[in-house]
Structure 1
Amino acid sequence: MKRTVSVLVLFLFAAGLNLAVAQNRATIKFDDLEHNFGTFNEEQGNVSYDFKFKNTGNAPLIVSYVRSSCGCTTPEWTRKPVAPGDNGHIRVTYNPKNRPGNFTKTISISSNATNPMVVLKIRGKVIPRVKTPEEIYPREVGLVRMRTNHLAFVKIKDDEVRTDSLQFVNLGDKPVTIGIKQAPSYLKVEIVPKTVQPGKKGHFVVTYDASKKKEYGFVIDRVYLTENGESNYNYSIGVSATIVEDFSKLTPQQLANSPKVGFDERVFNFGEIAEGQKVNHVFQIKNTGKSDLVIRRIRASCGCTAVTPATTVIKPGESTDLKVVFNSHGKRGRQNKSITVITNDPDQPTTILRITGNVKS
């Protein structure tokens, strides 16, 4: 009986202690949990709002951290302990620069309060500022400006002729006459108009004849210009394309008798080597089809990797070696180099091989 009473007394004491501890806690109470900045102009700059709170508990309140959902939102807060009945604030500042349109951001507050995690929210709409012509056309090409000085034809068939254009603007106070100093034979470039008045726009109209390029895979060229009769290395535009073989005209019989490319492996891991060492490896390329397999192009992702095929034409049922030499000079850490092999296999014209490993300094 005495033992039962003792246990009961201990239980009641513990319960009372826990209740006392629970009652001796801080509580954070915000006036509001969300603020709408409304609509404002980007050029107005940073906007801020103070979320005010009160410690309605009976112990000091300590805000341990405040974390925003975006780097565009900067919080500041009362860092010293807030006594019971006192107030504090979380100031949230939003930077609208280059962030036009609607936004909604959250701010997470962690503290020692009975409600240890509180999430605040800000929202609004940013009206974009009017950009200057220099911002709209950031690329300087001599006396004219462009949004971009690179024209990408992306994927184009090896027998295709395609035309696209690049816009430019004369933001100077004098007319500019543009000509072509140098362009590859497979690129026909027209300037419309050739003389552009101040404040007016023009176009580089580029026609790409892939049949004259006689190359496969990703290729890039530069077209060099003259402006008012003068030439400069910086007066140029880039033109790129990925040229693929057109297999759409093959008959079912031709497809059945086509070459088939195969590899003994597609990834070689050389393990770990010291910087400056060279790694040699041989990939084997097989032709399991019924006609000659032609290697159209082999390209390494890095000049540190030399690739040499024993032959570029592989007969049906035969194979050839693809020798790869990786030079680790100037390389450190994990390496992952790719080798693109382009063939006339209609089912698998492009294959990626990889050389991986670690280079110790």
Structure 2
Amino acid sequence: MNRFAFTLFLAFSTLFSLSIARAQQGDVPKLIWKVNRINIGTVLEEEGLQQAEFEFTHTQDSLFFIEEVIPECGCTAVEYTQDTLQVGESGKVTVSFDPTSSAGFFSKLIVVRGNLSGIQDSLYLEGISIPYPSDLQRAYPILRGPLGFRLRKVNMGDVFDNEPKIKYVEFFNRGEALLDKGALRSVTPPHIQISQVQQFVRPKERGLLMVRYDGKLKNDLGFFEDIVPIRWENVPSSEVKLEIIADLFQYFAPIQKSDLNQVPQLVIAQKEVDLKEISSKAVVRRSVTLTNQGRQTLEIRKVEGNCECLVLEAPKASLEPGESMELSIVFDPAGRKGIDQRNIYVFSNDPVNPVQLIVVKSRIE
């Protein structure tokens, strides 16, 4: 290699190394945020401004300071660290949200810009804002002891066994006594916890109850309803019975498309069973074939109908790859008439379709 060619090669290598180093440095964030998204939960309008703090650490050798923080709208106000920070030092951005500006779910964007090139980070403040109703009695028509509720039941919705689900339930204190958070007592099963959010809820004020439902502790699948009594020990006749409903499911992490053929796969031969015209005096029997078309053992976790009129029997709790079995369905239409539909839910460890539905239709004479 001559001298000119070597010089070109050396220059090219140096530029290539510098570009790699710069690319690697670009991958390192200049600010490390403890979190960049905060959910403040459910907020009542009358509770006033709500605050959340976003904390960060400066990671670069250069001196850093925040040039500006830009909120999405006038409903959020911001304060932030004004100091110039050296590497390893921390700062914070405090966001104040006015709940009178929103109704329902909100997600507010806050943009942070700094003196160093490339610093324009996004923060998000989320939650649910409940406006103050013009007619409290009409807004909370369901009466339970000294409390008024919007709905008869607390619907937790879908609850998975990988993490507890939390729901906030608003109420109106119709009584004459102060409701103290520390005086709240509840008789709950292990999978449910109930607490009062505000320290005090005065007469004619609104409050929030936090319901925490742990599907893993419940250790079951399907639809469930719990009747949970709560009371304030310093308030006579304050017992309230909460009806809590939930649909419980097993959580499966997403799988790669290439792994679809390796997992258990439940195939139901007939997902709609049409019994046509039947007599209300005759018990009807049918069967549906369940097959494991995957390459791992299929576990039938639970088979559940939505009516006591159904008797379901699965001869096995697991199927090997390629194996099938007959699910027995016995339907007793006694006391029913006209067009009827019953649902059967099959829970399995098929990660793509962990819950499958079989519909039983009929016209009962």
Q: What's the TM-score, normalizing by structure 2? A: 0.57
Letter in 1 for 2:161: D
Letter in 1 for 2:355: T
Q: Which residue of 156, 159, 163 corresponds with 1:160?
A: 163
List per-residue Cα deviations over 1:216-263 (Å, max 9, x = no partner): 233332321124468989821222333333222656676442111112
Match status 1:189 vs 2:194: yes
Match status 1:339 vs 2:344: yes
Q: Assess, with a 3 A threshold, how the Cα gap between structure 1 residues 275 and 150 changes in structure 2: closer, same or farther.
A: closer
Give the structure with the higher percent strand. Answer: 1
Q: Check the 8 A contact 1:179/1:194 in 2, yes or no.
A: no
Between stretches 193-202 and 335-344, larger displacement belongs to: 193-202
Q: Which residue of 318, 321, 325 corresponds with 1:320?
A: 325
Q: For residues 47-58 of structure 1, what are the structure 2 equivalents within 5 Å?
A: none
User: Cα distance, 1:290 vs. partner?
Assistant: 0.9
Gap runs ≥5 in structure 1? 1-129
Number of residue-to-residue matches in the alignment: 231
Letter in 2 for 1:278: V
Q: Check the 8 A contact 1:151/1:165 in 2, yes or no.
A: no
Q: For residues 1-361 of structure 1, what are the structure 2 equivalents within 5 Å?
A: 131-176=134-179, 179-193=184-198, 196-228=201-233, 235-248=240-253, 250=255, 255-360=260-365
C-alpha distance in structure 2 between counterparts of 1:181 and 1:327, whole Å: 40
User: Cα distance, 1:182 vs. partner?
Assistant: 1.8
List per-residue Cα deviations over 1:312-334 (Å, max 9, x = no partner): 21111111221111101101122
C-alpha distance in structure 2 between counterparts of 1:149 and 1:333, whole Å: 30
Q: What is the DSSP-based 3-state SS (H/G/I as helix, E as strand, rest coil) of the residue aligned with 2:246?
A: strand
Q: Check the 8 A contact 2:231/2:239 in 1, yes or no.
A: no
List per-residue Cα deviations over 1:109-158 (Å, max 9, x = no partner): xxxxxxxxxxxxxxxxxxxxx84321121111111112224333322322
Q: Assess, with a 3 A threshold, how the Cα gap between structure 1 residues 335 and 251 changes in structure 2: closer, same or farther.
A: same
C-alpha distance in structure 2 between counterparts of 1:210 and 1:231, whole Å: 33
Between stretches 228-237 and 295-304, larger displacement belongs to: 228-237
C-alpha distance in structure 2 between counterparts of 1:150 and 1:297, whole Å: 26
C-alpha distance in structure 1 between counterparts of 2:259 and 2:273, whole Å: 34
Q: What is the DSSP-based 3-state SS (H/G/I as helix, E as strand, rest coil) of the residue aligned with 2:138?
A: helix
Between stretches 246-255 and 259-268, larger displacement belongs to: 246-255
Letter in 2 for 1:221: D
Q: Check the 8 A contact 2:186/2:194 in 1, yes or no.
A: no
Between stretches 345-354 and 173-182, larger displacement belongs to: 173-182
User: Cα distance, 1:176 vs. partner?
Assistant: 4.4
Q: What is the DSSP-based 3-state SS (H/G/I as helix, E as strand, rest coil) of the residue aligned with 1:334?
A: strand
C-alpha distance in structure 1 between counterparts of 2:234 and 2:283, whole Å: 50
Q: What's the TM-score, normalizing by structure 1? A: 0.58
C-alpha distance in structure 2 between counterparts of 1:259 and 1:176, whole Å: 52
Q: How many percent of aligned residue pairs carry the same amino acid? A: 22
List per-residue Cα deviations over 1:189-213 (Å, max 9, x = no partner): 1123476331233221112222112
Q: Check the 8 A contact 2:177/2:235 in 1, yes or no.
A: no
User: Cα distance, 1:188 vs. partner?
Assistant: 1.6
Choose 1 or 2 for highest CA Rg.
Answer: 1
C-alpha distance in structure 2 between counterparts of 1:186 and 1:326, whole Å: 33
Letter in 1 for 2:172: V
C-alpha distance in structure 2 between counterparts of 1:288 and 1:233, whole Å: 56
Q: Check the 8 A contact 1:143/1:227 in 2, yes or no.
A: no
Q: What is the DSSP-based 3-state SS (H/G/I as helix, E as strand, rest coil) of the residue aligned with 1:302?
A: coil
C-alpha distance in structure 2 between counterparts of 1:151 and 1:235, whole Å: 13
List per-residue Cα deviations over 1:58-106 (Å, max 9, x = no partner): xxxxxxxxxxxxxxxxxxxxxxxxxxxxxxxxxxxxxxxxxxxxxxxxx
Q: What is the DSSP-based 3-state SS (H/G/I as helix, E as strand, rest coil) of the residue aligned with 1:212?
A: helix
Q: Assess, with a 3 A threshold, how the Cα gap between structure 1 residues 231 and 303 changes in structure 2: closer, same or farther.
A: farther
Q: What is the DSSP-based 3-state SS (H/G/I as helix, E as strand, rest coil) of the residue aligned with 1:211?
A: helix
Between stretches 214-223 and 343-352, larger displacement belongs to: 214-223
Q: Check the 8 A contact 2:153/2:244 in 1, yes or no.
A: yes
CA RMSD of aligned residues (A): 2.6
